[in-house]
């Protein structure tokens, strides 16, 4: 009998889920703390601190989502394609850089806030999709 289309029953490791939430909180605090006071500084200093903030936020966002993927337990072995996982990390950092750039401008209008939010949200999806899609399923 074929099992094509059969449903896999999964469960969550709630300890991993809690660590994922803590990673998100710590990364958000670090990124916003790094990016906050530097919009009044010289261009080079602002660029350096925005780079640090974007890196902190991107790695934190990526780590939170990847930790969430690892928290989901399936009755099969799941192996991730590491080059693709690293591409999702780069996308998260770039999306964070654009969003922090928009958020730390001298003047931010509602349209700019929406654009930054959409870019940040759009950078989150590849973290999940790219890390999960090219996986290797084994029983």
Name the residue ranges covered by the structural domains of the chain.
12-138
Q: How confident is the model at residue 97 (pLDDT cuts 50, 70, 90)?
A: confident
Q: How confident is the model at residue 3 (pLDDT cuts 50, 70, 90)?
A: low
Rounded to whole angstroms, the Cα distance separating 57 from 93 reads: 7
Q: What is the chain's mean pLDDT, rounded?
A: 76
- Closest Cα partner for 59 from 27, 84, 85, 81? 27
Tell me which residue has tokens 């928009």. Answer: 102
Tell me which residue has tokens 């889920």. Answer: 17
Rounded to whole angstroms, the Cα distance separating 28 from 100 reads: 11
Rounded to whole angstroms, the Cα distance separating 10 from 76 reads: 10
CA quadruple 6, 7, 9, 12: dihedral, nearest 10: 130
Length in residues, the chain:
139
Distances (CA, A) of 61 to 15, 70, 129: 18, 14, 14
Q: What is the pLDDT of residue 76?
A: 79
Q: What is the pLDDT of residues 51-95, one digit of tens each?
A: 888 898 889 888 888 888 888 888 877 777 778 788 888 888 888
């Amino acid at each position: 009998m074929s099992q094509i289309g059969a449903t896999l029953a999964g469960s969550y490791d709630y300890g991993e889920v809690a660590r994922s939430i803590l990673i998100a909180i710590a990364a958000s605090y670090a990124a916003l703390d790094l990016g906050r006071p530097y919009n009044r500084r010289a261009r080079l200093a602002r660029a350096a601190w925005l780079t640090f903030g974007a890196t902190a936020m991107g790695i934190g966002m990526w780590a939170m989502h990847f930790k969430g993927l690892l928290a989901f337990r399936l009755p099969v072995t799941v192996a991730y394609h590491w080059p693709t996982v690293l591409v999702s990390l780069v996308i998260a950092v770039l999306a964070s850089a654009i969003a922090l750039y928009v958020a730390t401008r001298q003047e931010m209008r509602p349209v700019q806030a929406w654009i930054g939010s959409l870019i940040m949200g759009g950078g989150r999806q590849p973290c999940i999709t790219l890390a999960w899609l090219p996986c290797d399923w084994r029983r």
